[in-house]
Amino acid sequence: MAHHHESIIREPLMTGKDMTYARITDEILLPVENKPNKAWWIGFIVSALGAMLWVVSISLTFWYGLGEWGLNKTVGWAWDITGFVWWVGIGHAGTLISAVLLVFSQNWRNSINRSAEAMTIFAVICAATYIVAHMGRPWLAYFTLPLPNQYGSLWVNWNSALMMDVFAISTYFSVSLLFWYTGLLPDIASIRDRAKGLRRRIYSILSFGWTGSLKTWQRFETVSLILAGISTPLVLSVHTIVSFDFATSLEPGWHTTIFPPYFVAGAIFSGFAMVQTLLLVTRKVLGLENYITMFHIESMNKIILLTGSIVGVAYITEFFIAWYSGVEYEQYAFINRATGPYWWAYWSMMSCNVISPQLFWSSKLRRNIPFSWALSIVVNIGMWFERFVIIVTSLHRDYIPSSWAMFYPTWVDVGVFIGSIGVFFTLFLLFIRVLPSVAIAEVKLLLKTASEQAKMKQIKEGHLEPAEVQYYKESLTKYDSVDMADYENV
Amino acid sequence: MPDPVSKVTWDNFVAMAPSDAKKLGLDEFGVVKVTANGYTVELPVLEQPGQAPDTISIAVGYGRTAAGKVGDNVGKNAFPFYSFLNGTFQTTAQATIEATGDTFPLSQTQTHHSYEGRNVIRETTFAEYKKNPEAGKGEEEGEHKKYDLWENTNEDRIHARPVYDWVMAIDLNACTGCGACVIACSAENNVPVVGKEEVGRRREMHWIRIDRYYSFAENGTAKADERTGMVTKEKEIAKLEDFSNVTVVHQPMLCQHCDHAPCETVCPVLATVHSSEGLNQMAYNRCVGTRYCANNCPYKVRRFNWFNYWNDSRFDNYLNNEHTQLVLNPDVTTRFRGVMEKCSMCVQRIQAGKLKAKMEKRPLQDGEIKMACQQTCSANAIIFGNRNDKNSEVYKALQSERTYYVLEELNVQPGIGYQVKVRNTGTESLA
Amino acid sequence: MSKTKIILGCFDDPDDMMQGITNLQKNSVPIYDIYTPMPIHGIEAKMGVKDSRLGYAAFCFGCLGLTVITSIVYYTLVGDWPQNIGGKPSFAMPDFIPFMFEWTILFTAFGMTLTFFAATHLFPGRAPRVMDLRATDDRFIIAVDAKGNIPHDDITNLLKEAGAVEVKHNERKYVSYE
């Protein structure tokens, strides 16, 4: 639209003086087109060591058997499914940012959706490794697929929540990959057109021959919108299905209908925290402060606050319903969580998930980058404990007291988990070297309407209410990428 | 096999009254030096409710040196504590005990010893029983309505059990907790012996287990349960001063072969389904080892093969050795690692019995097929048979007014009926 | 005879390019195509391009997915080998809803996107038909077929009036990657 003017009181989504389309392309493609710096190498070596730890731990598990983990006949799932749900939950924020915010026309998603969606894909990869690793006979994992076979064609159990998981996670992974890659095509074409030699050939193949013509863009936007529209219920359904692993069981503490919304809220909570963990560092190291601005950081913190509060309300509801139901097993399960042998896990969960995000009511803390980063780590630790508490405390003391047993992790359990974090970061660091971590085409859309430069031009044209301009200038003070000196005389 | 009362495997120990252990300042499994008749051993202490204060007991038969891997270096020899007096062995002696400050972990198959007032155990006294034969069964709590979310599924082709409906009746009154059924089942079904370390990690493979619960008479500040009049909750037991007035109940727990089995619904690959004869089947070849079924079983009777117990050099059991392998029952397959197993209601015996009757061209008689556990039980506490046959022993046993089902309020419709334990006391209180 | 095959108006601002389109349309110059580094709002209406029918395709694929999965579940668990699983009836409907949901979405996504790729001729290894290398960077290109009847200078002037930073007369339609 030629004369689309955004209201001046809206904060800019892109900062920086003398921004041009060329400059956007150059800055975002800097890590892709140049050799990596020391920071990247340090990160990569540490992550690669973690990934190697993962390889070693998984190999031990596959070779000797699941006995290498700390599980027993009472506690059949512990770090494995905790890790699985943790990773899937983290993945959901990416789809939320890409899909849900697109459906709601939230333009601030434009600069963060590429990295967030990449994070989703890598997180789902880590989750999928857990699914295969936790099986007793993983080489037979294809038994979960309804393929015709020689056993009289023995099919699969469509009643089982784990089967639902298989379909949900595979659909989620493939649709996310499709959505992410389709969005990447214009950006890969940008790289292709600036590259030479072998790089050009590789990116040419990857770009599918993208040309940026009119009809292509029109179809692209339609496809994006529809994919976003179906990804929204997809993300809700996937974590609902993951919650069904517990909700469709009989165990006290698992058998509760609050799990679907509770898990989805928790997933978004931990996912946004992981996005913060990644992007707050990435923007500094890659020099993307103009694109991932304080507005983005603060908005994500607000979502963390909202979903953290929902999770807190869910905890209280669970507790209330256990008491109100009068079911002695359910009541015992909750009292045991708070006062039994795993009380320390429960209280870590409570303080990390319920108490700490409430600190974001303070706008000063919400806009403080080091604090946001630290809190994002705390939230993810808390969410890990939440899944651990749900899984282990419900299993270790259930209906028949003679089976009550403790669970202790082994080094292999810990190695698989820390290793999966290493795998995740390795993939992410490779991603930022090979592909643009910000959606170039989408950010270019913002230059004329929602950028600091465009708004400055608007102010200089002089047709605006002074009160609104003042409000706008005040909102700019929190940005770390804006030089307030420019606004002295405007 | 776990010791019937202490549930300790692979070792002997010093059984000491909890008050004595507190006096000596001993931690759980703290090692003490016991000296009597000029002989000394160092053994860990186990707090044993019911052990008379100022006495300790040590099981004999351990600490062997020429018994092979089952007995060598397992526990300590207590026979030298015997003395010979007037032509008989004196099995008691004056002993001195000295704490050493070390600990030696014991592997128990059960570490929680009270049933928390839950109605998995139902018991009453003879006096109550005389007044009301249904005493203790919990009917006063209200009849649990049998209902189904699904309609009419018990009668259609897939779900009906037209010919046989194999069930069991277990009489808690008769069961002495001896554990012979555990051994019989393990022998019949090639159940792996996992060793002390694995038992310590709570991975023993017994398909049937005997749960032993202590219930205490009220004393100190501890409060009794409303339903039983005994102290059975962990929090209250911690407040007890005197552990001597204790009663014990043994409950054999095995796969209940539930008609609405929670394990069947959650297996992703259909490795466990229900047969048309009422058995919950386990297809080892199909199992991929997700362990969801074990997590969902409220009775926790499913066992997972954490390692290749028969093929891993770290496990030196009867499955590994080429000679002792001959002990294996050829009718039952051994299981690979990563596969779930559980009581199969000796399906190999059921099939053999049915086949024999078929070859002899006659119907199957009640009592012809015996379960391994049933056959070995010296108290005849386990009765097995066909519920569809109204003249069978099991049908008649299940008609008893003392019959109840464990966790029946979950509506899993288990196939094992237990019978209320009636204690022979003239008083009306169990305590 | 001029060997120019295609005339490219290169703009550095999308609004200027829209003005260029207006100029050309007013003078009945047929526009071959527009290449931009990002989608431009309102350009489809201006150029009279019909709405994409991918939405309808998506819906059809979704229905297909629903039908496929329902058939698979019904055939396997009710038709071919119904089993007694926890006493549940063979067609335990509430349990099957998640599968139906997931495969509706899967088929919609893949069907529509693969149709998009097919319709737009996008596939791995496809030689890119790019007219100007900066079309994916910072230039907004209007491409006019030079083989028409309109004099090239007129076209050039119209484009320059709208604010084109460069007007190229190319003898090759597409940039060679060799």
Least confident of A459-468, B26-35, B191-200: A459-468
CA A197 to chain centroid: 35
| Cα dist from B146 to B150, B344, B404, whole Å | 12, 26, 14
Q: Which residues of B touch A65 (CB under 8 A)?
A: 305-308, 312, 337-338
| Residues A251, B213: C-beta atoms closer than 8 Å | no
- The CB density around residue A51, as the number of other CB atoms within 10 Å, is 20
Q: What is the CATH number of the domain that holds A119?
A: 1.20.1630.10
A4 pLDDT tier (thresholds 50, 70, 90): low
| Residue C10 Cα, gap to closest chain B Cα (Å) | 59
Residue with tokens 């429960």: A346
Out of B294, B308, B407, whose CB is closest to A65? B308
| Residues C58, A226: C-beta atoms closer than 8 Å | yes
* Sign of the four-CA dihedral A243, A245, A251, A255: positive
- 3-class DSSP assignment, residue B161: coil
How would you classify the pairing of strands B416-419 and B166-171? parallel
β-bridge partners, B42: B33
pLDDT tens per residue, range B62-108? 989 988 777 888 899 999 999 888 899 888 888 999 999 899 999 99
| Average pLDDT of the residues in A69-80 | 95
Alpha-carbon distance A169 to A124, whole Å?
Answer: 8
End-to-end CA distance of chain A: 27
Q: Which residues of C touch A99 (CB under 8 A)?
A: none
Least confident of A184-193, A473-482, B353-362: A473-482
Residue of B110, B198, B199, B202 to mutate when probing chain A, most A C-beta within 10 A: B202
Residue B185 confidence (pLDDT): 96
| Residues C86, B261: C-beta atoms closer than 8 Å | yes
| Residues A159, C85: C-beta atoms closer than 8 Å | yes
| Residue C70 Cα, gap to closest chain A Cα (Å) | 11
Is C78 within 8 Å of chain B by CB?
Answer: no
What is the rounded radius of gyration, in angstroms, for the C-alpha atoms of chain B? 24
Residue A69 lies in a domain: yes
- 3-class DSSP assignment, residue B33: strand
> Exposed, middle or buried, B97 (CB in 10 Å: 0-12/13-18/19+)?
middle
Residue with tokens 């006290």: A252
Q: What is the ipTM of this complex?
A: 0.94
Tokens encoding A203:
């990116």
- Which structural domains are found in chain C, ordered by start? 6-50+136-170 (3.30.70), 57-119 (no CATH)
Q: What is the DSSP secondary-structure string of B180-200?
A: HHHHHHHHHTTPPP--HHHHH
* Percentage of residues of chain B with pLDDT beyond 90: 61
Report the residue of chain B nearest A130, measured CA to CA. B290
Residue A405 confidence (pLDDT): 95
Alpha-carbon distance A348 to A343, whole Å?
Answer: 9
Tokens encoding A163:
């089967």
Tokens encoding B426:
């003239």
Alpha-carbon distance A127 to A81, whole Å?
Answer: 9
Out of A25, A208, A214, whose CB is closest to C117? A208
* Consecutive H or E run containing B16: strand B14-16
Report the residue of chain B nearest C84, measured CA to CA. B274
Alpha-carbon distance C163 to C16, whole Å?
Answer: 6
- The CB density around residue B69, as the number of other CB atoms within 10 Å, is 15
- What lies within 8 Å, CB to CB, of A183 at 6+ separation is A98, A113, A114, A117, A224, A439, A442
| Residues A164, C138: C-beta atoms closer than 8 Å | no
Closest CA to A227 of A61, A69, A100: A100
Report the residue of chain B nearest C90, measured CA to CA. B158
SS (H, E, C) B85-145: ECCEEECCCCCEEEEEEEECCCEECCCCCCCCCCCCCCEEEHHHHHHCCCCCCCHHHCCCC
Alpha-carbon distance A199 to A192, whole Å?
Answer: 8
Q: Which residues of C touch A207 (CB under 8 A)?
A: 128
| Residue C162 Cα, gap to closest chain A Cα (Å) | 13
Residue B431 confidence (pLDDT): 65
Is C176 within 8 Å of chain A by CB?
Answer: no
Q: Which residues of C touch A204 (CB under 8 A)?
A: 127-128, 177
- What lies within 8 Å, CB to CB, of B338 at 6+ separation is A65, A66, A135, A136, A137, A138, B287, B288, B289, B304, B305
pLDDT tens per residue, range C134-166? 999 999 999 999 888 888 898 999 999 999 999
Alpha-carbon distance A487 to A473, whole Å?
Answer: 7
Is B289 within 8 Å of chain C by CB?
Answer: no
| Residues A402, B204: C-beta atoms closer than 8 Å | no
Tokens encoding C169:
């007369």
Indicate whether A1 pLDDT > 50: no
| Residue C6 Cα, gap to closest chain A Cα (Å) | 15
β-bridge partners, B30: B103
Query: What is the maximal distance between C-alpha atoms in chain B?
Result: 75
| Residues A219, C42: C-beta atoms closer than 8 Å | no
Q: Which residue has the higher pLDDT, C149 or A164?
A: A164
| Cα dist from A305 to A108, A269, A298, A354, A486, whole Å | 18, 8, 10, 9, 33
Report the residue of chain A nearest C174, measured CA to CA. A211
**In 3-state terms, chain C is what percent helix, strand and coil (to 5)?**
50, 15, 40
Quick one: angle between helices A214-247 and A79-95, nearest 10? 150
For residues A58 and A419, the answer to whether their CB atoms sit within 8 Å is yes
| Cα dist from B39 to A429, B97, B201, whole Å | 68, 12, 33
- What stretch(es) of chain B map to CATH 2.40.40.20? 8-108
Q: Which residues of C touch A240 (CB under 8 A)?
A: 98
Residue A53: which domain range?
A: 47-147+154-287+297-439
Using CB atoms and an 8 Å cut-off, which of residues 98-117 of chain C contact chain A? 98-99, 101-103, 105-106, 108-110, 112-113, 116-117
Indicate whether B140 pLDDT > 60: no
Out of B148, B158, B259, whose CB is closest to C83? B158
Residue A458 lies in a domain: no
Question: Which 8-state DSSP code applies to residue A340?
Answer: S
- What stretch(es) of chain B map to CATH 3.30.70.20? 123-232+252-423
Report the residue of chain B nearest C81, measured CA to CA. B158
Rounded to the nearest 10°, the torsion over CA C113, C114, C118, C120 is 20
| Average pLDDT of the residues in A255-280 | 95
Alpha-carbon distance B61 to B72, whole Å?
Answer: 11
Q: Which residues of C touch A209 (CB under 8 A)?
A: 121-123, 125-129
Residue B199 confidence (pLDDT): 94
- 3-class DSSP assignment, residue B386: strand
Q: What is the DSSP secondary-structure string of A176-225?
A: HHHHHHHHHHHHHHHHHHH--HHHHHHHHHHTTT---BHHHHHHHHHHHH
Residue C32 phi, psi (nearest 5):
-75, -50
For residues A205 and C124, the answer to whether their CB atoms sit within 8 Å is yes
Residue A2 confidence (pLDDT): 39
| Average pLDDT of the residues in A301-317 | 95
Alpha-carbon distance C178 to C170, whole Å?
Answer: 17
Out of C19, C95, C134, whose CB is closest to A159? C95
Beta carbon pairs, A and C, within 8 Å: 205
Closest CA to A420 of A29, A61, A16, A17: A61
* Percentage of residues of chain A with pLDDT beyond 90: 86
| Average pLDDT of the residues in A375-401 | 95
End-to-end CA distance of chain B: 30
Alpha-carbon distance B379 to B382, whole Å?
Answer: 8
Residue B129 confidence (pLDDT): 87
| Residues A65, B265: C-beta atoms closer than 8 Å | no
Indicate whether B262 pLDDT > 50: yes
pLDDT tens per residue, range B145-171? 666 677 666 677 888 888 999 999 999
Alpha-carbon distance B236 to B221, whole Å?
Answer: 8
- The CB density around residue B394, as the number of other CB atoms within 10 Å, is 23
CATH code that applies to domain B8-108: 2.40.40.20
pTM of the predicted structure, to 2 decimals: 0.94
| Residues B413, C85: C-beta atoms closer than 8 Å | no
**In 3-state terms, chain B is what percent helix, strand and coil (to 5)?**
20, 20, 60
Out of A192, A216, A223, whose CB is closest to C113? A223
Residue B98 phi, psi (nearest 5):
-135, 125
Closest CA to A14 of A24, A26, A2: A24
Report the residue of chain B nearest A164, measured CA to CA. B268
B17 pLDDT tier (thresholds 50, 70, 90): very high
Q: Which residue has the higher pLDDT, B408 or B181?
A: B181
Alpha-carbon distance A31 to C27, whole Å?
Answer: 45
Alpha-carbon distance C22 to C14, whole Å?
Answer: 12
Closest CA to B382 of B371, B390, B391: B371
Out of C14, C81, C137, whose CB is closest to A194? C137
How would you classify the pairing of strands B421-423 and B123-125? parallel
Residue A444 lies in a domain: no
Q: Which residues of A touch B292 (CB under 8 A)?
A: 76, 160-162, 245, 249
| Residue B390 Cα, gap to closest chain A Cα (Å) | 32
Mean pLDDT score of chain C = 91
Residue A83: what residue type? G
Residue B325 confidence (pLDDT): 86
Q: Which residues of C touch B259 (CB under 8 A)?
A: 87
How would you classify the pairing of strands B30-36 and B39-47? antiparallel
Is C68 within 8 Å of chain A by CB?
Answer: no
Residue with tokens 């309109």: C150
pLDDT tens per residue, range C8-46? 999 999 999 999 999 999 999 999 999 999 999 899 999
CATH code that applies to domain B123-232+252-423: 3.30.70.20
Residue B143 confidence (pLDDT): 62
| Chains adjacent to A (≥3 CB pairs closer than 8 angstroms) | B, C
Query: What is the maximal distance between C-alpha atoms in chain C?
Result: 85
Q: What is the DSSP secondary-structure string of A82-114?
A: HHHHHHHHHHHHHHIIIIIHHHTT-GGGTTTHH
